[in-house]
Amino acid sequence: MIEINSLEFEYRAGEFHLTMPEFAVEKGEKVAVIGPSGSGKTTLLNLVAGILTPRKGSVAVGNTVVSGLSDQARRDFRITNVGFVFQDFALLDYLNVMDNILHPYRITGALKLTGEIRERAAMLAREMGIGDKLRRQSTDLSHGEKQRAAICRALLPHPRVILADEATGNLDPGNKIRILELLFESVEKHDATLLAVTHDHELLPHFDRVADFQAFQGQAAQGGQAP
């Protein structure tokens, strides 16, 4: 489902360089990515999502070479095929929780907002324990509640690929296991693929496979820090 070949990426300032000869995640796999801060884990997720593009090489999701698409095509592909749980949540302060969850449906014609979608958004919110917070502004939520709202938004379009950047990092032990279970349920129900960056090694036994970024990328991250 995810295939990277001969990839080279660097930020304009030249302070970080990432080289990945090859990396692949099979359809339906649940893969955890671990490694030290600054090694390029978040950069990897951004490349898979098409938020960033490599200087050389290719990034493919399914049969689509995301790295070869135009800016608009990458954006549309990401919205319709990739559920991204950002580390900083990326919620909009001027929207309430429900509108934040529905936001992907309001910014592209590729997704159609229907009553069924609204019902699913409310159901996801209930499952995440924020069903009573849908009319609140996102600024009124706790850190953990913001995280759960961001996960609801990512899961709503039934994405083929779910990218999670520390999706359980700010939750208490009971809730982080519940959130992980919901992510796994979505992957299995919709035959999707999960690539998750985490520093929580207690969660690793729940994944199908662990990719140690330091092990396969240690010599490639040179001279700087990645996001």
User: CA dist 203 to 7, 150, 180, 190, 207, Å?
Assistant: 29, 20, 8, 22, 8
pTM here is 0.88
Split into its structural domains, the chain has a count of 1
44: helix, coil or strand? Answer: helix
Ranges under pLDDT 50 in the chain = 218-227
Structural domain of residue 33, as residue ranges? 2-95+153-217
- Domain for residue 145, yes or no? no
Query: Any idea what the CATH number is for the domain that residue 6 is in?
Result: 3.40.50.300
Mean pLDDT of the chain: 88
- Domain for residue 144, yes or no? no
Q: Which pLDDT belongs to residue 204?
A: 93
Q: Which pLDDT belongs to residue 94?
A: 94
Q: Which pLDDT belongs to residue 34?
A: 93
User: For residues 20-38, b (16+ Cβ closer than 10 Å) or e, as one string?
Assistant: beebebeeebbbbbbbeee
